[in-house]
């Protein structure tokens, strides 16, 4: 469902010159799988995911999303992807329901389909009690639920989660984690970036350690633990990055 092929992204900085944010990154993710990109802030996770979502064009290399090249048909790729980050980016004056309907129109969905899918997702995420409240009056956890619905309303086969639990409390984070599991169990292909190792251990079928724009190691959590001789993923991560 997702195949990244030697992705590179360079930026120009006045002081540092050319900065390689993503440096020949390659990986693949299948349907019904959660693939984790693990790395500290500035490792290249978000840049990689923004390339997959077509928000950024790669300097070189490419990615194939559900059979479509991100550099050839970005519009088709966007129809195949749901993208969720830790930044909700909601219009404060709209209600949760209005916000979702707005994005349904952007996706080209019919009104009846928008209403049916909205009701389904609001029930799934227990959102009925604030569905008609303005986004500016919602808590962080409530806003993130609205963002989830906004991202998956068109039922895309590929989901991209870019540190979606950042800044959330325990209960709100649990909702996000449970929803990622739901996506996997529904047969979706899921890319999940985080620097929280406990989340990765609970969610990811395979993981890649990314640092300085490069993938240092890839495999299951057990693969990484065995390769490093560590008992937990955090220690394995530190050892891999340190080496």
Q: How far apart are CA 83 and CA 65, in angstroms?
A: 13
Handedness of CA 14, 15, 16, 21 (dihedral sign): negative
Closest C-alpha among 164, 161, 216 to residue 191: 161
Closest C-alpha among 65, 61, 14, 25 to residue 190: 65
DSSP code for 9? E
What's the pLDDT at 37?
A: 92
What's the pLDDT at 39?
A: 87
Task: Kindly report the length of the chain.
Answer: 243
Q: Would you identify the CATH topology of the domain 2-80+156-242?
A: Rossmann fold (3.40.50)
Positions of the chain with pLDDT under 70: 86, 88, 243
What's the pLDDT at 88?
A: 61
Q: What is the pLDDT of residues 10-67, one digit of tens each?
A: 998 888 788 899 999 999 999 999 999 998 888 889 899 999 999 899 999 999 999 9
What's the pLDDT at 218?
A: 93
CATH 3.40.50.300-classified regions of the chain: 2-80+156-242
């Amino acid at each position: 469902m997702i195949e990244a092929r030697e992705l590179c992204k360079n930026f120009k900085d006045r002081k540092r010159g050319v900065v390689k944010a993503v440096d020949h990154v390659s990986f693949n993710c299948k349907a019904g799988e959660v693939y984790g990109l693990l790395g500290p802030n500035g490792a290249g996770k978000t840049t990689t995911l923004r390339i997959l979502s077509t928000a950024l064009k790669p300097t070189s290399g490419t990615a194939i999303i559900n059979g479509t090249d991100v550099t050839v048909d970005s519009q088709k790729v966007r129809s195949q992807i749901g993208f969720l980050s830790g930044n909700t980016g909601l219009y404060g004056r709209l209600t949760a329901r209005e916000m979702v309907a707005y994005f349904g129109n952007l996706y080209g969905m019919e009104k009846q389909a928008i209403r049916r899918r909205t009701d389904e997702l609001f029930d799934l995420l227990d959102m009925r009690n604030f569905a008609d409240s303005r986004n500016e009056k919602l808590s962080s956890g409530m806003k993130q639920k609205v963002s989830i619905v906004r991202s998956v309303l068109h039922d895309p086969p590929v989901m991209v989660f870019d540190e979606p639990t950042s800044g959330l409390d325990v209960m709100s984070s649990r909702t996000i984690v449970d929803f990622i599991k739901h996506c996997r169990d529904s047969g979706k292909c899921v890319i999940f970036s985080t620097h929280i190792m406990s989340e990765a251990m609970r969610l990811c079928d395979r993981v890649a350690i990314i640092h300085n724009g490069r993938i240092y190691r890839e495999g299951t959590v057990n693969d990484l633990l065995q390769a490093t001789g560590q008992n937990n993923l955090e220690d394995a991560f530190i050892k891999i990055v340190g080496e």
